Structure formats: C-alpha cells, structure tokens
C-alpha cells in the first residue's frame, strides 16, 4: 500500500484535496468537544451557534492553516492542521511555537500508526519553523495521550473542566 504525507501551505490545497478534507472533517466532527461542526474557529473553546453550513467557518479557517494530508492509495485517511509562529500567553516559557490545532484519522483506518506518521512528519519539518510544538487535547483522549507520551510530548498545563464538565484540557509540548 502506498502511503504519503503531503504538506500543504495555507490556501494551497487543490479543490479535490479540499473536498476530501471537508468530507473527513464532517465524518469525525462529533468526536470532538465541542463538535467541529459547531465551532467558529480552530481555537474556540465554547460552543458557538450552529448556524450556516456544517463546519463551514471552522473549515474555512482550517484552509488558512498549514495542513499535513495523509494519503493511502489516493484516499485521504488523516490530517493534521497546524499554525506556525503561535504564542500562548499561559505558557510564556515556550515562546513562539508550532501549534497543532487538529489531528484526526478516518475511523476505519485507526490503530495502524497513521497518527504517529503524521506527528513524525511534523517533527521533521524544516528547521526554519519554531522548535517547540504545542497542542491541546482532552483528558479523556486516552489513545491520543498514550501516543503523545511515546512520541516524547510532556505535560505542560491542565485546564480543569475546560470544554466539558467531565473532561480537562491538557496542554502538551516538546522540542523538535
């Protein structure tokens, strides 16, 4: 099986790639809290009104970020979106960093190491980009947290009950 990861700069996805990404985002949207279809931005932490087309504003913002597209046999199976030169005021010790805004793998393709491949690609991006990588995930995302631990990400901050009364937000990071 041929697997490749394409790095698309903001606004540089082809129409076909955009359509494939939109379909994948809609497939996994409800696994996120709040669902991607109700978010108005990739950093928003509270539910927005769900007016307009499904996930349109979230998706429009995704297109303006860097994106790694994982393709297997011409099918988009996963993606990782990120901002370069991000700064988080709660973590001044990190300084300017790469911020992973979303990672997801198509449900039928999970458990085969594809998310690991996406992170490995991110870790190997050119040195001109910031050294630190920062991301946020939920305390209940056990598979994701386990993966990040094996990749060397360290806990930086916990925000209790941040997006959901039953789950904390966990910020993790590592240097490339």
In the complex, which residues of this chain contact ligand COA (CB under 6 A)? 28, 31, 102-105, 110-116, 137, 141, 143-144, 146-147, 150
Nearer to ligand COA, 108 or 128 (CB): 108
Residues contacting 100, CB < 8 A, separation 6+: 80, 81, 82, 122, 133, 134, 135
Nearer to ligand COA, 40 or 42 (CB): 42
**Least distance CB 175 / ligand COA (angstroms):** 20
Nearer to ligand COA, 114 or 128 (CB): 114
**Least distance CB 110 / ligand COA (angstroms):** 3
Nearest to 134 by CA among 174, 81, 76: 174
**Least distance CB 164 / ligand COA (angstroms):** 13
Burial environment of residue 48 by CB neighbours within 10 A (0 to 12, 13 to 18, 19 or more): middle
Tokens in use for 112?
């085969």
Tokens in use for 71?
């393709």
């Amino acid at each position: 099986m041929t697997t490749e990861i394409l790095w698309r700069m903001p606004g540089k996805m082809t129409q076909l790639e955009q359509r494939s990404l939109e379909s994948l985002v809609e497939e996994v949207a409800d696994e996120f809290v709040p669902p991607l279809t109700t978010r108005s931005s990739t950093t928003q932490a509270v539910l927005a009104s769900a007016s307009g087309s499904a996930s349109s504003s979230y998706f429009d913002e995704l297109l303006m970020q860097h994106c790694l597209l994982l393709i297997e046999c011409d099918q988009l199976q996963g993606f990782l979106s990120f901002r370069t030169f991000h700064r988080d005021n709660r973590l001044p010790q990190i300084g300017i960093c790469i911020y992973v805004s979303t990672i997801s793998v198509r449900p039928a393709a999970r458990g085969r190491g594809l998310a690991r491949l996406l992170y490995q690609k991110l870790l190997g991006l050119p040195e001109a980009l910031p050294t630190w990588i920062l991301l946020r995930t939920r305390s209940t995302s056990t598979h994701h947290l386990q993966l990040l631990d094996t990749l060397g990400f360290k806990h930086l901050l916990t925000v209790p009950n941040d997006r959901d009364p039953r789950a904390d937000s966990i910020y993790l990071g590592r240097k490339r």
